[in-house]
Amino acid sequence: MNSKLPKTIFITGATSGFGMATAKLFNKNGWQTIITGRRADRLEELAAELGNGSLPLSFDVGDRRSVKTAIDNLPPNFNNICVLCNNAGLALGLEGADNANLDDWDQMIDTNIKGMIYTTRNILPLMIENGEGHIINLGSVAGSYPYPGGNVYGGTKAFVSQFSLNLRADLVNKGINVTSLEPGLAETEFSIVRFKGDRDKASQVYKDTKVINPEDIADAVYWIATRPKNININRMEIMAGDQAFNPFNVVKRT
């Protein structure tokens, strides 16, 4: 690790929610932040708030060439990437599998899976050259616990969890830690995106419920990233205070 350069975190999906809260917390604690996302205007606003230690990069993580170009052209003073936070992700629709929109399925796979693996693969050489690093992948409890309409979204988040474990197996002898952080019900733009801008419908998801806030997940990311290097947090699952488990759904046929 180049001790002459500030510690840097690379955050995908930093234009709202978990990603934005994570950027603010790490910046507050003296880290440089590389903030990425598709909405350039939001990135510029956040970068202005964070100050000189922030580098905004606008691109689509699902576009393999754009990811490589952005990372290949990082300024030298932002090469000391200690933490990669693969946060970019989304859910679209809540229809059953027989009625789901295939374009929605494609977009979830492109962002939640391809975006994560493209970013990881391109940043890994920098981490290996530096001699240490930590990859924190944002999964979901939906990757472990199915629910009606979760179909492809839950499948992509199960991929995040298993990819993280296998990535750790590959990197254990290279000084790089890997964590799958798996939140439950959180009040961000998640439901607004899922319901394609219907804010009234999205608000019903969180009404009268104690939910996770973006700052809660940012705290978890920071805690994971700052653990002593003699340990690795493999997986961390966080549910909202008013969220738990239901009995199995058993169909009664008459």
The confidence score (pLDDT) of residue 247 equals 87
134 within a domain of the structure (yes/no): yes
243 within a domain of the structure (yes/no): no
Find all residues with CB under 8 Å of 53, minimum gap 6, and list them. 6, 27, 31, 32, 33
Strand, coil or helix: 197: coil
- C-alpha to C-alpha distance for 240 and 5, rounded to whole angstroms: 38
Tokens of 10: 């690379």
CA 138 vs CA 1, 89, 99: distances in Å: 25, 8, 27
192 within a domain of the structure (yes/no): no
Active-site pick, 118, 145, 147, 153: 153
Other CB atoms within 10 A of residue 236 CB: 17
The confidence score (pLDDT) of residue 194 equals 66
Domain that holds residue 219: 8-186+213-238
Nearest Cα neighbor of 171 from 196, 135, 202 is 135
The distance between the two most distant Cα atoms of the chain, rounded to a whole number of Å, is 72
The confidence score (pLDDT) of residue 1 equals 52
Nearest Cα neighbor of 8 from 48, 44, 52, 63 is 52
Q: What does each of the 254 residues of the chain score in pLDDT, given as a tens digit?
A: 555 678 999 999 999 999 999 999 999 999 999 999 999 999 999 999 999 899 999 999 999 999 999 999 999 999 899 999 999 999 999 999 999 999 999 999 999 999 999 999 999 999 999 889 999 999 999 999 999 999 999 999 999 999 999 999 999 999 999 999 999 998 876 666 666 776 777 677 777 889 999 999 999 999 999 999 999 999 999 999 999 998 889 999 98
The confidence score (pLDDT) of residue 189 equals 64
244 within a domain of the structure (yes/no): no
Find all residues with CB under 8 Å of 76, minimum gap 6, and list them. none
132 within a domain of the structure (yes/no): yes
pTM: 0.93
2 within a domain of the structure (yes/no): no
The confidence score (pLDDT) of residue 202 equals 64
Tokens of 68: 């490589």
The confidence score (pLDDT) of residue 155 equals 98
253 within a domain of the structure (yes/no): no
247 within a domain of the structure (yes/no): no
Question: CATH number, domain at 231?
Answer: 3.40.50.720
CA 75 to chain centroid, in Å, comes to 23
- Residue 254 burial (10 A CB sphere; 0-12, 13-18, 19+): exposed
Alpha-helix residue ranges (DSSP H) falling in the chain: 17-28, 40-50, 64-72, 102-108, 115-130, 151-171, 190-194, 199-206, 214-225
Single-letter amino acid, residue 24 = K
Other CB atoms within 10 A of residue 81 CB: 22
Number of domains present in the structure of the chain: 1
**Is 206 annotated as catalytic?**
no
